[in-house]
Amino acid sequence: MKTINIDVAVIGAGSAGLSAYRAAKAAGASTVLIEGGPYGTTCARVGCMPSKLLIAAAEAAHAAARTAPFGVHVDGTIRVDGREVMRRVKSERDRFVGFVVDSVEALPAEDRLIGYAKFIDDNLLQVGEHIRVRARSVVIATGSSPYVPPLYRTLGERAIVNDDVFDWDDLPRKVAVIGAGVIGLELGQALARLHVDVTVLGARGRVGPLSDPAIRDYAQQVFSDELRFEARAEVEAATREGDVVHLRYRTSDGTLVDDTFDYVLVTAGRRANVDRLALGNTTFALDANGVPAYDPLTLQAGTHPVFIAGDANGVLPLLHEAADEGRAAGNNAAHYPFVTPLVRRAPISVLFSDPGIAMVGTRHADLAPGSFVTGDVSFEDQGRSRVMLRNRGLMHVYVDRMTRRFAGAEWIGPDAEHIAHLLAWALQMNLTVDAMLEMPFYHPVVEEGLRTALRNAVARLKDAQ
Ligand SMILES: Cc1cc2nc3c(=O)[nH]c(=O)nc-3n(C[C@H](O)[C@H](O)[C@H](O)COP(=O)(O)OP(=O)(O)OC[C@H]3O[C@@H](n4cnc5c(N)ncnc54)[C@H](O)[C@@H]3O)c2cc1C
C-alpha cells in the first residue's frame, strides 16, 4: 500500500471537483483529484448537454408540425427517425464529453488518482486497493445519482433513469415518466414531441420547481394540453410481464387507470453520492441523508478541514452553482484554517420546456407575506409572442414594498431562459423596479411583456401606499 501526503484531496472529477482542484492548485496547494467513474462530468455525459440535444430535436419536430397557421404547409407526414435522433444526440454528446476528458487528461498525471475514495479516518482516504492519501483538507464533490423508489426496482431494465435515455439507439413507443420535476418535464415533453406516447405522473402536485400557485396551475394546463400529465397521481402498482410494464395509478379525481408501457423513466429526485465514502469511519456529524452536516456559506463540514461542493450537498443542483461551490471549496481547503464564505450569485433556474419555465431570486413560497407586491403579465396577447404564435405564458414579478427592489419572479413563457438572465442581472445589481423600467426596451420583443409586469407592480405599489 502506497501512502501519499498531500495538502488537498478532491473527491470527484465532475464540474465541482474540477473547479475545486483548479482553485486549490492556483492557491499553491499540492492537490490530487480522485475519480472513480469515467471522466467527462454528469453535465456533459448524462445531464445538461444530452438533455438539451434531445430537446433540440423535439423542437425541430414540433416546429415542422406547426407551420400551417402561417400559411406554410409541410405536405406529407413528419417522420421522426428515432435512430437518427439518438445518433445525433449521442455523437454531439460524445463531442462535448471528449473536450472535458481531454482537459482532465491534460492535468499532471501525478495529480490524478483513479478509483473510488473512501475515508479510513477523518483525513486518511483509501483510493482503490493500493493507494492511501493523507490529506490536510478534503473536498467532497461526489455529485448525485437518480433515486429509484422501491416500487420500481422490481422492473429490472424496464425502469430506467436519465442516464439510460442517452444510451438508447432508438426511441421507444410508449413511456411513463415518474416525477414532474425539472428532469421529468424536460425529458417527458421532448419525448412526446418526438412522437413517443408519454404519460407524466407527478406525486405532489409539483410542476417543475414552481412555487407560485397561479403560475404552477397555468403551467400544469400547458403540459396537460400536450401530453398525459397527472401532477398528483398515486401509483399503486408497477409490475412487469416480459418487456411490458403495467402501471396502476389513481388520478387526482380518484379515477383508477391501468396502462402498459415499454419503459418507466424514473425522475423522482436525486441522492448525494456518499454511499462509497464510508463516512461511518469519520467523526463527521451526518444529516438524515448521510451527508456531512455543513455550513452552506463556507461549505465546511462542522469544524473539520472538509468541504462539500456541487450536487453532493444537494442545495442548488445546477451546473454554475457546482462550479462556483467547487471554486470556493477548493480555495477554503487550500487556505484552511482561514475559511471565507462563498458569495453566491443571484439565484436563477431554467426548465428548458416550451414554453420555458424560469425562476429568479426569492421563490414566491419563501417571500414574507405582505412584504411584496406582484406584477403580472399574460403572454397570450403579448405582441411579439403572438406574432410568433408562441403566445402562451404567465409571469409574476415580485417587488419589495419597502425598498421597491426587484425581489424575484416565477413564470412560464416564451424566451424564458433569456429573460431570466435580464432579471438575475437586475437582481444582482439590487435594482429597484423604477430603475429597471428606465432601461431600454426594443420593439417588438417578448421583453415588452416583462415591462408590462414591472409596470403592473409599480401600480400595485401605488395602490398599497
Ligand atoms: C438530466 C439532467 C439535466 C440537467 N440539466 C441541467 C441544466 O440544463 N442546467 C444546469 O445548470 N444543470 C443541469 N443539470 C444539473 C448538473 O448537471 C449538475 O448540477 C452538475 O453536473 C453537478 O456537478 P457535480 O460536480 O456536483 O457532480 P458530477 O459531475 O456528477 O461529478 C461527481 C463525480 O464524482 C465521482 N464520484 C462519486 N463518488 C466518488 C468516490 N467515492 N470516489 C471518487 N469519485 C467519486 C463521480 O463518478 C462523478 O464523476 C442537469 C442534471 C441532469 C441529471
DSSP string across 273-288: S-GGG-GGGS---B-T
Q: Which of 22, 39, 42 to mutate to test the pocket of ligand 1 (most atoms within 8 A of CB)?
A: 42
Q: Which of 15, 19, 43 to mutate to test the pocket of ligand 1 (most atoms within 8 A of CB)?
A: 43
| CATH, range 348-464 | 3.30.390.30
Tell me the CA distances in angstroms from 329 to 44, 112, 299, 340, one per residue in order: 22, 18, 6, 9
The CATH class of 2-146+271-335 is alpha beta
Per-residue tens of pLDDT for the chain, all 465 residues: 899 999 999 999 999 999 999 999 999 999 999 999 999 999 999 999 999 999 999 999 999 999 999 999 999 999 999 999 999 999 999 999 999 999 999 999 999 999 999 999 999 999 999 999 999 999 999 999 999 999 999 999 999 999 999 999 999 999 999 999 999 999 999 999 999 999 999 999 999 999 999 999 999 999 999 999 999 999 999 999 999 999 999 999 999 999 999 999 999 999 999 999 999 999 999 999 999 999 999 999 999 999 999 999 988 999 999 999 999 999 999 999 999 999 999 999 999 999 999 999 999 999 999 999 999 999 999 999 999 999 999 999 999 999 999 999 999 999 999 999 999 999 999 999 999 999 999 999 999 999 999 999 999 999 987
Q: Using an 8 Å Cβ cutoff, are 194 and 61 in contact?
A: yes
State the distance from the centre of ligand 1 to the C-alpha of 77, rounded, in angstroms.
39
User: Which sign, positive or negative, has the C-alpha torsion 360, 365, 371, 375?
Assistant: positive
Q: Using an 8 Å Cβ cutoff, are 176 and 203 in contact?
A: no
Phi-psi region of 430 (alpha: psi -120 to 50; beta: other; left: phi over 0): left
| Topology adopted by domain 150-268 | FAD/NAD(P)-binding domain (3.50.50)
Tell me the CA distances in angstroms from 38 to 12, 104, 157, one per residue in order: 10, 11, 21
What is the chain's alpha carbon radius of gyration, rounded to the nearest angstrom? Answer: 24
Which member of 335, 418, 421, 443 is catalytic? Answer: 443
User: Which sign, positive or negative, has the C-alpha torsion 78, 79, 84, 86?
Assistant: positive
- Residue 424 and residue 414: Cα distance in Å, rounded? 17
CATH 3.30.390.30 residue ranges of the chain are 348-464
Q: What is the pTM of this model?
A: 0.97
State the distance from the centre of ligand 1 to the C-alpha of 15, rounded, in angstroms.
7
13 lines ligand 1 (CB under 6 A): yes
CATH 3.50.50.60 residue ranges of the chain are 2-146+271-335, 150-268
- Residue 9 and residue 329: Cα distance in Å, rounded? 11
